Amino acid sequence: KTFFPIEAGNAPSNPTSFFATAPIEATFNELSNPWGPHSNGLILDNLLVGVSLAPMYSDVFNMVKTKEGYVTIDALHRVLGASGLTAGMIEKILAITLPYGESNIDRKAFDVILVLVALAQKNMEVSLESIVSHKQDLPIPLLPRLSNPAGATDSNVEPTDKITSISRPSPASHSSEALHLLDDKDLISVQISLQKGGVIFKHVNYILESKQHLSSVTRRYKDFWWLLEILTKRYPSRMLPTLPPKKIGGDKTFLERRRKGLSRFINFIARHPVLKNDNITVAFLTEPTSMEAYRKLNTVDVEEEFSKIEVTDQIKAAVPHDLEEKLRKLRERLDASVEYYTNQCLLMERIAKRQEGSSEDMEHYSRILVALGESPCHDSGCLECPQIISGLNTVADSFIRVSAIMKEAVDSSVSGVVDHLRRQKEIVLAFKELLDRKEKLISSGTETLASRIKANQGKIDQLRGSNGPTKEIQRLTEVVSQDRKELHDAKERDIFIQYCLWRELQFYHQNTTFVTKLYQQYVTDQIRFTTVLNQAWKDLSPTVWSLPEYNTNTIYP
């Protein structure tokens, strides 16, 4: 049994629990909790199928999209802010189209949002049904105040807005480079290509960029599979990474998880002291043509590593005499370690989801505050209500700032911890699988060979003593010679396997220190974000304490 059997996203629906899925308020649509499933994605995907939109829709999307082809929530809010619509109307559009926990918007959903903006600007009904009714004459949104919102989505440009101007790490803040553990190792970036391959049956392509090789190549999932197959045959006595699962037609969430899994897979290989230097690994990272074309032009041998290695006295001396005892002790702990890392990943994911949900709620709350202030007071001579509305707008701005800080904390800190915990879990699994292969790798026929050599040598001695047939003596001599060579090679191979196990144990042990660096960086990040968050609340304090208060001495007629 796992320590926490409830998976993130499958929380209980008890209305009194923290994970309650009851609507917050019907006025703002049915906003389910940030851990629950959402069904409007398919509706948005198919809503504008077959509709010819004005070029302006493409122009705006291309202006604000990221290099992965999505629009971030920050960029979306800037686009909506340029529309001139009231905060209440923007809130309504987001309530219709934007599910909780969504951090990126694809092209189809973005087009629907722009259509709703255009409908609102024309004083038409703002709803999905209205889009269906006006499919043939959809209006064009007006965004006169839109100016370079893409700059806010570029991860290489530091933001200037006060909301996100906290000192934040680069997107790879939790990479091995930032943690100073494997500074001399290659780091491979894996991104999903916007261009899908295939003519009839489409497949996902991945762009791999290597810092060490200064290369950028395109690979398919089956290429990763082929690479693992070759390395498994060549290096059976080495730790080998695990591939993420294959799935036909996975959704965006699945594809992103698999992208991260492929990134961990190839970076495991790139950091391994032996696998990284294999000629197939180098070709996989540098060959500009497809791997299918490479395989047609090159003969790929799958000879085991031992066949190309001379077992020297230095190799023999390097293997400690108590290696088996060391491996036995470690083997006893591996199953528990796998479960511990599994639970850590699950719990940290739940922490991240809760923080994402809180960030979304803070932002949602701020929009409601602004919308609340758009209704004028019934008393035209009231002096307090304008002050309150101004103060509430300041509170709303601060809530947006707090929301952004919380989101940054999740994106650059908590999510990075989850991914690297998975990396550690996969390293444990890789060593566990190596020990499982160990018994099959170690030769079990050496005693049989030695007995056969002894028996045949006895026959040779007997035949020579009795002047037996020369041909039979020669045949047995050749058999004994061949068996001795085979026995020698088997013993040498066993020694080399023991050497490889010792080296892999050292590599495994070295990687355990990565956890120390990981948590050092995580704690540093949390201190930094907490400091910025504390300052945001302090900055808001003078405003809320200067708001008009209820006067008990006021007498109403």
Residue-wise pLDDT tens digits, 412-439: 777 778 888 999 999 999 999 999 998 8
pLDDT for 197: 59
In 3D space, the residue among 330, 379, 296, 342 whose CA is nearest the CA of residue 509 turns out to be 330
Residue 505's pLDDT band (cuts 50, 70, 90): very high
In 3D space, the residue among 376, 348, 363 whose CA is nearest the CA of residue 519 turns out to be 348
**Residue/partner pairs of 497-500 with CB below 8 Å, 24 or more apart:** 497/237, 497/306, 497/438, 497/441, 497/442, 498/319, 498/323, 499/311, 499/315, 499/316, 499/318, 499/319, 500/237, 500/238, 500/305
> Are residues 501 and 438 in contact, defined by beta-carbon separation less than 8 angstroms?
yes
For the chain, which residues make up each domain, given as ranges?
A: 44-134, 179-308, 349-373+383-545
Name the more confident of 364 and 149: 364
> Model confidence over 137-162: pLDDT tens digits?
888 898 876 755 443 333 333 333 33
Q: Give, in words, the CATH class of 349-373+383-545.
A: mainly alpha
The answer on pLDDT for 54 being more than 90 is no
> Are residues 64 and 114 in contact, defined by beta-carbon separation less than 8 angstroms?
no
Mean pLDDT (whole number) for 9-15: 39
Q: Is 65 exposed, middle or buried (0-12, 13-18, 19+ CB in 10 A)?
A: buried
> Model confidence over 123-139: pLDDT tens digits?
899 988 888 888 888 88
Question: Count of CB atoms within 10 A of residue 94's CB?
Answer: 21
pLDDT for 99: 62
Mean pLDDT (whole number) for 30-41: 40
Report the mean per-residue pLDDT for the chain: 79
Residue 477's pLDDT band (cuts 50, 70, 90): confident
The answer on pLDDT for 286 being more than 60 is yes
Give the CB-side neighbour count of residue 288, counting CA atoms within 13 A: 2
Q: Give, in words, the CATH class of 44-134.
A: mainly alpha
DSSP 8-state class, residue 411 = I
Phi first, then psi, for residue 216 (nearest 5°) are -140, 120
Residue 50's pLDDT band (cuts 50, 70, 90): confident
Cα(36)–Cα(25) distance, rounded to whole angstroms?
17
Phi first, then psi, for residue 71 (nearest 5°) are -110, 125
> Which residue's structure tokens are 């041998």?
301
DSSP 8-state class, residue 414 = I
SS3 content of the chain, % helix, strand, coil (to 5): 60, 5, 35
Selected from 3.30.1490.20, 3.40.640.10, 3.30.1520.10, 3.30.420.40, the CATH number assigned to the domain covering 179-308 reads 3.30.1520.10
pLDDT for 103: 64
Strands (E), 13-83: 71-72
pLDDT for 518: 84
Residue 250's pLDDT band (cuts 50, 70, 90): low
> Model confidence over 289-326: pLDDT tens digits?
999 999 999 989 999 998 888 889 999 999 999 999 99
Cα(189)–Cα(260) distance, rounded to whole angstroms?
10
Of all residues in the chain, what percent carry a pLDDT higher than 90? Answer: 30
Query: ∠ at Cα 71 (69, 77), nearest 5°?
Result: 170
> Are residues 190 and 266 in contact, defined by beta-carbon separation less than 8 angstroms?
yes
> Model confidence over 161-208: pLDDT tens digits?
332 332 333 333 333 333 434 444 558 899 988 766 554 556 789 999
pLDDT for 181: 41
Mean pLDDT (whole number) for 368-382: 82
pLDDT for 154: 37
Q: Which helix (H) or strand (E) holds 268?
A: helix 252-271
Residue 329's pLDDT band (cuts 50, 70, 90): very high
The answer on pLDDT for 8 being more than 70 is no
The answer on pLDDT for 459 being more than 80 is yes
Range among 251-265, 277-291, 414-428, 449-463 with highest mean pLDDT value: 277-291
Contacts of 89 (CB under 8 A, 6+ apart): 120, 126
Lowest mean pLDDT among 236-240, 257-261, 294-298, 450-454: 450-454
